[in-house]
Chains A and B, each alone.
Chain A
């Protein structure tokens, strides 16, 4: 006999549940989920960020990649505590993968945790991992049309890093126009312009990271 069952259930409900559990585990540890397309410079930015901040903070990194441990090796070389997550083909990290990575980190000993997502501007924006901040990274070499083409990630991000600023003279990247487009999508987001290669702009980026560490510390006592 025919039966109709109303579910009204979010497809990503299970992910949201695990993300809530992660957030609970990270309730004293400021966590930044770094999202960009492949090759925008996430790992290089992290290397330089760790170099700047390692004297002040103990930094952990959950390193998401589809395959290989190359990025994790680069990060470990900078003295951060790193856990590699290989998604074996999946286009984003989900809360479960991050939860398993957190099992392998000494969370109490850390001051700041980065989650380097799989290189992809689309899917990672839809999966809550339990982080405090999403940060979208966009590189000058990719072209200035990315915010309009991939609005969700820019809408969800509390900060946007425009990286590879040293390449500006060689491209038609219109910084003012891109800033304006990002502001249209998300008027509250912070924008940092950096070159991880030359070090330009890293001071402001690292100062913001220092602020979020201190802010969470004072909020959680």
Chain B
């Protein structure tokens, strides 16, 4: 499989979004991966551990939500979660539609923009030069 390539894409895309948001360091990345998708969470984690050192992702947490395969039956309306890929409604045996389990996307990431938290108020260091973005 191509988990290394997928994680490289995640690092490139999240890295770009981080820079656009003036984020210096990414602390967490959350992916959503359907169980029908060929990408294997363990292999994604391994790829992340190989590719993240010495980048803005160093030390970041990779969280992967594994989405089960869910079927919806057009005949009886039953929704079922199946362990393995299945094609027929477990309730009535009609051919069912697969409604989840194929996902492969970046949900969100968290990072640090290197600025002091304004909410800390007077406890924080003074912004003596008034250089903070959005200042008067």
Partner-B contacts on A (CB < 8 A): 1-14, 90-92, 122-123, 125-126, 151-152, 184-185, 187
Contact between A187 and B95, CB atoms less than 8 A apart = yes
Q: How far is B39's CA from A123's CA once the two chains are assembled, in angstroms?
A: 9
Contact between A90 and B9, CB atoms less than 8 A apart = no
Q: How far is B1's CA from A184's CA once the two chains are assembled, in angstroms?
A: 25
Partner of B115, one of A1, A14, A122, A151: A1
Residue of A2, A14, A90, A185 ringed by the most chain B CB atoms within 10 A = A2
Contact between A126 and B18, CB atoms less than 8 A apart = no
- Residues of B near A4 (CB, < 8 A) are 108-110
- Residues of B near A8 (CB, < 8 A) are 105-108
Given contacts A5-B18, A8-B107, 14 further A-B contacts (CB under 8 A): A1-B112, A1-B113, A3-B21, A4-B108, A4-B110, A5-B111, A6-B108, A7-B17, A7-B107, A8-B106, A12-B6, A122-B38, A125-B38, A126-B37
Q: B100 interface residue, CB < 8 Å from A?
A: no
Count of chain B residues near A, Cβ 8 A: 34
- Residues of A near B116 (CB, < 8 A) are 1
Partner of A3, one of B2, B9, B14, B113: B113
Q: B94 interface residue, CB < 8 Å from A?
A: no
Prevailing SS type, chain B contact patch: mixed
Given known pairs A2-B111, A152-B36, the reply for A9 and B105 (CB within 8 Å) is yes
Contact between B36 and A2, CB atoms less than 8 A apart = no
Given known pairs A8-B105, A12-B104, the reply for A1 and B14 (CB within 8 Å) is no
Contact between A5 and B109, CB atoms less than 8 A apart = yes
Q: Which residue of B lies closest to A12 (CB)?
A: B104
Q: Which residue of B lies closest to A127 (CB)?
A: B2
Partner-A contacts on B (CB < 8 A): 1-2, 5-6, 9-10, 13-14, 17-18, 21, 23, 27, 31, 36-38, 85, 87, 95, 104-113, 115-118
Contact between B13 and A9, CB atoms less than 8 A apart = yes
Contact between A14 and B9, CB atoms less than 8 A apart = yes
Contact between B105 and A5, CB atoms less than 8 A apart = no
Contact between B14 and A2, CB atoms less than 8 A apart = no
Name 21 interchain pairs, CB-CB below 8 A, sorted by A. Answer: A1-B115, A3-B21, A3-B110, A3-B112, A4-B110, A5-B18, A6-B108, A7-B13, A7-B106, A7-B107, A9-B13, A9-B106, A10-B104, A11-B10, A11-B105, A90-B2, A90-B5, A122-B38, A126-B37, A152-B36, A184-B87
Q: Quote the shortest CB–CB distance from A16 to chain B (angstroms).
A: 11
- Residues of B near A184 (CB, < 8 A) are 87
Given known pairs A1-B118, A2-B112, A11-B105, the reply for A126 and B38 (CB within 8 Å) is yes
- Residues of A near B31 (CB, < 8 A) are 11
Q: How far is B2's CA from A13's CA once the two chains are assembled, in angstroms?
A: 16
